[in-house]
Each structure stands twice: as C-alpha cells, then as structure tokens.
Chains A and B, each alone.
Chain A
Amino acid sequence: MAKFMQIPVLDCTGFPGVKQAPILFYNSQVPLALQRCLWQNTDAMSRWVRFIIAILIGIVLGLLFGWVINPIDYTQTAPDTLRVDYKTDYVLMIAEAFHSDGDMALAVHRLAVLGDKSPEGRVLQTIIFAEQAGYIDADLDMMRNLSDELQIFQNVVETPES
C-alpha cells in the first residue's frame, strides 16, 4: 500500500485556467487527478480532430481537382476505349481491308488494338451491334466473312501439325 502512496499527485497549478477540483481519489483522501488536469490535453486533442477534418476537406478538394476540374489528359486514349459504334466501324475497316488483301495475320494484328477480347469475340460483338444498328448488307457480309475466315485461321493456328 505504501507503494500506492508514492504515486505522484498531479499538480496542475502551473497551467492557467485549470480548476483544482479533484475528480479521482485514492483511499478517498488523496487526489490522483484533478479536474482538467488528467485531461489537460483536451484542447490538443481537439486540435488533432480539427487537423484531421482539415485534411479530409483537402482530400475532397484534391479529388475534385484531380477527377473533375483537371483530370488526366483524355486526349491520349487507345482504340480499346472507343465507343461501340466507332469500334464497329474500326472492325468494318479491317474487314474491308481484309476483303481486298486477304491478309489474315494483318487483320488479327489490327484487331488486337481493340482490347483484350479474342479477335473472334470482338468481331462477333461488332456484328451483333451492326445488325442492331442497321448496317447495310454489304458491310455485314464483309464482317461475317472476316469472322468466318478468322475462325478457320484460329483453328489452323491452334491445330498442331501432324
């Protein structure tokens, strides 16, 4: 018990404005802490809270600037971000070129820039869109021809030579 008696009693007399009313007692007589003395950092904590609120406001402002006011330059996009109608026209151009030169390797290479989908999947998707959008039959036929030839080409590539 003597050990407990050696616990220093907080003395807040050096802090201006700190009241001396004891709030915790040891043995109902010795004050262990004085009101506001134990929590004398109340103001400091509120400063931290305000600091964190200021950071959060700053983050919101930063996101607003970075995402809305001045987002990353969107003039540097790749063909895989094109809208579906532009992608369809891109595939149609590939089909038109293929219809003329018959170079399937070049057509596959050109289709590759349109995203990570397989070339067959990409062409089939654009054919579906083209049918819904009312493309003329000649264009649809060229895309269907590209799709058919692409499947034959892929089968030849995937089939091991005997």
Chain B
Amino acid sequence: MNEDERGNWYLLTGVVLGIILGILFAWVISPVEYVDTAPESLKDEFKAQYRVLIASAYVANGDLVRAKARLELLGEADIYMIVAEQAQQMLAEGGSVEDAQALGRLALALGQEVPQPDNTATAE
C-alpha cells in the first residue's frame, strides 16, 4: 500500500497524541504553580480558617472597619450570613467554642450594620 492509498490520517493521529501528551504534562507532571494569589482564590477550608482569624483579630481589637475590609478580600457576597452560618456550623459540629464565639461576635457586629427592611411604609 503506498502513501496515496494510506492517506494523511496519521497526521491527525499524531496531533491528537501530541495534544494528549501536552495536556498530561501541563495538568499532571508540571501543572501551573500559583504564587502571589489573593485570599479570594483560597480553598473553602482555608477561607473558613481565614474568617476565624479575622474574627479573632476583631475580638482583640474591636475594629469592625478593618474586619469588614478583610472579609471583603475573600470575595464573598453576603459576608454577614456567611460568618453567622460558619459560627452556627462550628458549634453544631463540636468545633472550637472560642472560635465560634469570635465568629458570633463578628456576625453580630456585622448584623447591626446590615440595613433592616423598613416596615413603616407597609404598616401605614
């Protein structure tokens, strides 16, 4: 069988084989190593640790503005709900009481800042 009869499918096979090898190398053997990342890219468990640390620091210094600025680095939408839920979850799962209390105090402080819905208009 000469070349004309065999066609050029071997080229496609080569490219596909190369792509597989390339992806294998890029994802498994030598994946991209990230440095200089931001807190919002942290794994969920590390974000949880980060929030505990923010809460502990808040309990220590009472600086809510700083605590909020730090929580915003995690890139989450409803920081009050997330902190409150983590405090409850920590208590429910038998985690550190001190950490849960710190999260609770931070959630409380954040909750007082959250604008409450105005019911006066509907009452009238």
Residues of A within 8 A of B (CB): 16, 43, 47, 50-67, 71-72, 74-79, 81-84, 86, 89-90, 92-94, 96-97, 99-101, 110, 113
Q: Can you list 28 A-B pairs, Cβ within 8 angstroms, ordered by A?
A: A50-B11, A50-B14, A54-B10, A54-B13, A57-B14, A58-B22, A61-B15, A62-B25, A63-B23, A63-B25, A65-B19, A65-B23, A66-B26, A77-B34, A78-B43, A79-B42, A79-B49, A83-B38, A86-B38, A90-B50, A90-B53, A93-B53, A93-B70, A96-B57, A97-B56, A97-B59, A101-B60, A110-B49
Given A67-B26, A82-B36; 5 other pairs, CB 8 A cutoff:
A58-B22, A60-B18, A74-B37, A77-B41, A81-B36
* Shortest Cβ distance from residue B60 to the other chain A in the assembled complex, whole angstroms: 3
Say yes or no: is B3 at the interface (Cβ < 8 Å to chain A).
Answer: yes
| A47 adjacent to B10 (CB under 8 Å) | yes
Residues in B77-123 with C-beta less than 8 Å from chain A:
98
Kindly provide the distance from the CB of B90 to the nearest chain A CB, expressed in whole angstroms.
15
Q: Nearest Cβ distance between residue B5 and chain A, in whole angstroms?
A: 12
- Beta-carbon contact of B49 and A113 below 8 Å: yes
* A58 and B19 contact, CB distance less than 8 A: yes
Q: Which residues of B contact A (CB under 8 A)?
A: 2-3, 10-27, 31-32, 34-39, 41-43, 46, 49-50, 53-54, 56-57, 59-61, 70, 73, 98
A113 to chain B, nearest CB (A): 7
| A93 lies within 8 A of B54 (CB) | yes
Contacts of A100 in B (CB 8 A): 56, 59-61
> Is A58 in contact with B42, judged by CB distance below 8 angstroms?
no
Contacts of B23 in A (CB 8 A): 62-63, 65-66
- In the complex with contacts A62-B25, A66-B25, A110-B53, A77-B10 CB distance below 8 A: no
B21, B36, B37, B39: the one within 8 Å of A58 (CB): B21
User: Residues of B contacting A52 with CB < 8 Å?
Assistant: 14
Instruction: Judge whether B49 and A81 touch: CB under 8 Å.
Output: no
Contacts of B22 in A (CB 8 A): 58-66
Output the least CB separation between A101 and chain B (Å): 7
Q: Across the interface, which residues of B come within 8 angstroms of A65, CB to CB?
A: 19, 22-23, 26
Q: From A64, which residue of chain B is reached at the shortest CB distance?
A: B22
Residues of B within 8 A of A58 (CB): 14-22
Asked whether, in the complex, the Cβ of A51 is within 8 Å of the Cβ of B43, the reply is: no
CB-defined contacts of B16 to chain A, threshold 8 Å: 58
